[in-house]
Structure formats: structure tokens, C-alpha cells
Structure 1
Amino acid sequence: MGDDAAFHYVAMDFGGHGLSSHYYLGVPYCQENFVNEIGRVVAGGIIGGMFSCIFPEMVDKLILLDTLPFTMDPKGMENMLTYRRGAIEHMLQAEAFQKPRQVVKPEEMLQRFLKNNNHLNEECGRLLLQRGTTQVATGLMMNRDRRVGLLEYSIPFLTRLLVHSIKQLQAQVLLIKASQGYFNMERGITDKSVMLLVLDTLRSVLKEQFQYMEVPGNHYVHLNQPQNVADIISAFLQSKERLPHL
């Protein structure tokens, strides 16, 4: 990524992920808690977007890799109680039926992981499992807390809150969209409409502070094909000028 001597990169595991501890029973996994964790370290993606709006003076540049700065739902107000109820019910259910973590042979663990994440290649799968598992005498155990999946029930941003939050940003923002990523054109109209809404809002509010790039690859392009994003990210971090559109 060029001359990175001036930068210090941090790879962070949120609570319940990778090498970080699990939350206590009764403490839900939600994006707001992850924002608190960033306050102690630094990270990116949806959580980074929220952090950049809540603590705008602490962030100079925000990079979004095939993700949006917030969880959005066009029917957020109508669905708010549903999200809240779902979060509570599923957390209680997950805690009530927690099973001991399964120990699996390394190669079997890798094949299971790749089957559930078919956009990853084998090299990336092995790399992620280094942080995502713990070695024991008879094999590997997954580190991820099963309750983390409940993030799908996080309260989504409403449109008015989206605009207000983006207006708080002081950072320059780079959004890199993968052509076959999470928001590709084959997904439902809801996902596409959300993507277009957020892009239009970022462009209209941030103007020259916002840059949008599209690269070939899937949601894991930064792992599978880092050369597709490395130069873009490096130039964004090192330059105060806008990147030329591809």
C-alpha cells in the first residue's frame, strides 16, 4: 500500500468475536456497545460510521468497504418495536439453550467455514480462523459468541436521523462498493433503495468530503483480492485531494 510509515493499523475484534471476551449473560450485543468499544480502540464499517458521527472530532477519515455507515430500514419506524422485541426474545432464547462449544479437527473446521462463507477462498479462510478459533488438545473451537448473530435485530436508522447524523461528520469519507458485494444489483429492491438513499445523502451533505469507488470483487474483496482496494485506500489516507473516479 505504498509508503505507510506514517500510519498505525489496528485489527480489532469486537466483544464476542475473534480473540475478544464474550459479554456476560444478559448483556446484549448491539452496535451501540461496539461503538463504546471503538472509544477505547478504533475500527470501521457500520460501527465506524456511527462512531464518526457521535465523536466527529476524533475521526479524520472514514473508509467503508462494501458497507454503509448505518443500518438502514425504509420502514424503520414501523418495524422499531419488532426489532426491539426480536432482540430481547432471541437473546433470552440463545442464552437459555447455550451448548458447550464444539471441538472440530482443523481441516473439518476450515471446510465448514468455507461452506458457510462461500465467497472466501481457502487462504482467507485459514487466515480468519487464526483469530476466530482457539486451539485445544483435540482440535479447534470457534471463538465467536453465538449471540452475536442477534445484531440483525439492532434498531435501524430512520431517514431523518440518517441526514442529521451525516451532517455531524467532520471526516472525509471513502465508500468502496464491490461489484458483486452485499449491495449488488441481484439483491432485492429494498437493499438497492437503501444503498441509493445513503449514497445520495452522503453526496448531497458531504459534497467534496465524500468519495465513491466501485471495484470488481465480492464482499470480501479486501481479503480475496487486496490489490483491488489497496492503492485506493493508500491514496485516500495519504492525500488531501479527491481521488479520480475510475
Structure 2
Amino acid sequence: MPKEFIEMEIPVPYGSIKAKAWGSASTHSHQILALHGWQDNAGSFDTLIPLLPDSVYVLAVDLPGHGLSSHLPPGCPYHDLVFLMEVKRVVDHMNWTKFTILGHSMGAAIGMFYSCLYPKTVTKVIAIDMIKPLSFPAEELAKRTSDGINAFLTLEHKNSIPPVYDHKTTVEKMISAHAIYGSLTEEAAECLLKRGAKVSSDGKGEYFTRDNRIKAVLFQRMDSEALLNYLQNIECELIIIKAKNGIQLDPQEVNQKFIQLYERKCKTFKLIEVEGQHHVHLIEPQNVVSFITNEFNITNGN
């Protein structure tokens, strides 16, 4: 895949979804929608996509409030249902009827949900370092929901003018923000900052482009049993590429229930473990690229 890409802008009622596209949508049969993780952006795939074969077309989007995409209007909370709706807008804009979702972390969860909502359109979901979407014990659902609402309202009332930092501090803050998920290298941080930061109007520093309110995304609140029922509709091919030192959101016995569901419901299911941390696709893309290209029965350069 050439390193060159084009910037795309997909109109939505509140502004636009920004995206990076590699390849030619009209000549490539393998269409891939790349969805980044929470508080990341399309730059999350910058080191991986150039390693993919020339015969694929990849559209990597900035989800609302992330990267260069428009922020939701004042008063509108971020929710993974909002992200799902925007994915549908993107798919409709591209006139795609069959495509693959390549998702990292939250993007992988969105891909799984989307494949259940529109099972006839998604042929594959390739999930990087995500076994299953978030779920919570049933007795915690009400409190977690109220905590999420309170967190969003608190962020909403904060000063909307983003602070300005020098570049070194911006890099340090990006690395620090991801420390909970593992070590982000300076090079990886720079990839994310190409879309994750802009030079201030006075030219004296940089500010983060993301909407600060995305720190309080109101994810769908379900216990594991409800989530199992939701995912009964999954029927695509599912490939999970799990980093050995990645995130562990659930006990193994919970993950195993979902693995058994995938084995029953998916056309094909593979669980592949690779060396690396949560952002393995960005920091060590060579560890994952062969497993992705293998799914399309294509070799690099063809």
C-alpha cells in the first residue's frame, strides 16, 4: 500500500466527519473501514495501513469529537450509539454494501455492534486488542449511568477554550493520557498528534483538537448476559488479534462465554495472540499485518 493518502470530508448535520483514504475506492474489491479507539483518531493506523497490500481500499475515520471531525453541538452527549449512527452515515455516503471493519479497542467494539445491527453488510470484523464490548455487573448499572451523566455535565461546564502547550508538553500529555493502557512511544504519539493537535491562532503553541467531553462517553450500559443476547446477531467472520500485554477488561471466565458465542455464531472465528501492548498496531504493526492480509487471501504488493 502506498504511503500516500487523501483527506476526505463526509458531511453530517452538525459539520463533517474527516477521514484518510488509501487506495482507490473504484478499483479495489476489498473495502475496509478503520475505526480507532477512545480518544485516538485516524492516525492510529498510520504505521499499519502502508504495510497492507495495494489491492485494498482503506478509509480511516475520525469519529465525532475526535481528531479533525466536528464536535457534537453543545448539550449533546457522546454515546457509542452516536458513533454507530455516524458509521452508518459514512457507509451510506460511500455506497458500500459489503465491507470489512478494522477496529482497535473502542473501534473494535463499535464494529461488533455494527455487525449485529447490519449483519448483511459486514463481511469481516478484525478486532485489535478487544475481546468484547464493555459490560458491567447488573447491580452496578444504575450507579455507573449516573456517574457517567455527572462526569459529562461536569466537563460540559468547564471552559470550552482548550489550553495551549508547547509541542514537547503536548507529546508528554498524549503519552501520559495513554499510560493506563500501556506505554505509548514518542513516535506513536506524533502519529496521533498529526490530527490530535493544531497550532494555536497566535502561533505560540498547540492545542488538542478532541472535544474534551469525550472523556465521558456514555457507553451502552449492559451486563454480560444482556450483551450476550445483543451479540447473538453476529454472523460475520470475526478475527480478534489480542496483544499479550494489552488491556484486560474482564475475567477470563467472562471472556470465554463470548468466545464460545463467536465460535457458534460467526462464519469463521479466530483468536490470535501477538506480542505487544494495547497500541500494538501503531507501535509494532509488523506483529499484526500478516494476520490481516491473510484474511483477504492476498500477499503484500499484489
Q: TM-score range by the shorter chain?
A: 0.7 to 0.9
What residue is the counterpart of 1:197 in the other structure? 257
**Does the C-alpha gap of structure 1 residues 4 and 170 become closer, same or farther in structure 2, counting only changes over 3 Å?**
farther
TM superposition shift of 1:88: 2.0
> Which one-letter code corresponds to 1:20 in the other structure?
S
> Which one-letter code corresponds to 2:82 in the other structure?
N
* 1:90 matches 2:151: yes
What residue is the counterpart of 1:60 in the other structure? 123
Point out which structure has higher relative CO (alpha carbons under 8 A, 6+ apart): 1
- Of residues 187, 193, 210, the one that matches 1:129 is 193
User: 1:42-72 deviations in whole A, cap 9, x for unaligned?
Assistant: 6631111111111111100001100134222
Q: State the secondary structure of the residue aligned to 1:15.
A: coil
- Of residues 279, 290, 296, the one that matches 1:231 is 290
- Of residues 63, 78, 81, the one that matches 1:32 is 81
For structure 2, the residue ranges without an aligned partner over 5 or more in a row are 1-50, 92-100
8 Å Cα contact 1:83-1:154 kept in structure 2: no
What residue is the counterpart of 2:177 in the other structure? 116
Q: State the secondary structure of the residue aligned to 2:271.
A: strand
Q: Distance in 2 between matches of 1:111 and 1:37?
A: 31
8 Å Cα contact 2:141-2:222 kept in structure 1: no
Q: Distance in 1 between matches of 2:176 and 2:228?
A: 38
* 1:141 matches 2:141: no
For structure 1, the residue ranges without an aligned partner over 5 or more in a row are 240-246
8 Å Cα contact 1:16-1:23 kept in structure 2: yes
> Which one-letter code corresponds to 1:51 in the other structure?
Y
What residue is the counterpart of 2:275 in the other structure? 216
* 1:48 matches 2:124: no
* 1:72 matches 2:135: yes
TM superposition shift of 1:180: 0.1
In the TM superposition, 1:140-219 aligns within 5 A as 140-151=206-217, 153-183=218-248, 190-206=250-266, 209-219=268-278
TM superposition shift of 1:78: 1.8
What residue is the counterpart of 1:14 in the other structure? 63
Structure 2 length-normalised TM:
0.70
Q: Distance in 2 between matches of 1:141 and 1:196?
A: 42
Q: State the secondary structure of the residue aligned to 1:49.
A: helix
What residue is the counterpart of 1:242 in the other structure? none
8 Å Cα contact 1:64-1:174 kept in structure 2: yes
* 1:4 matches 2:54: yes
User: 1:192-224 deviations in whole A, cap 9, x for unaligned?
Assistant: 443333223222333x51111000000010011
TM superposition shift of 1:84: 2.3
Structure 1 length-normalised TM:
0.85
Q: Distance in 2 between matches of 1:70 and 1:116?
A: 21
> Which one-letter code corresponds to 1:218 in the other structure?
Q
Q: State the secondary structure of the residue aligned to 2:61.
A: coil
TM superposition shift of 1:105: 1.1
- Give the structure with the larger helix fraction: 1
> Which one-letter code corresponds to 1:46 in the other structure?
A
- Say what the alpha-carbon RMSD is for the aligned residues: 2.0
**Does the C-alpha gap of structure 1 residues 235 and 12 become closer, same or farther in structure 2, counting only changes over 3 Å?**
same
- Give the structure with the larger strand fraction: 2
Q: State the secondary structure of the residue aligned to 1:123.
A: helix
8 Å Cα contact 2:123-2:236 kept in structure 1: yes
Q: State the secondary structure of the residue aligned to 1:115.
A: helix
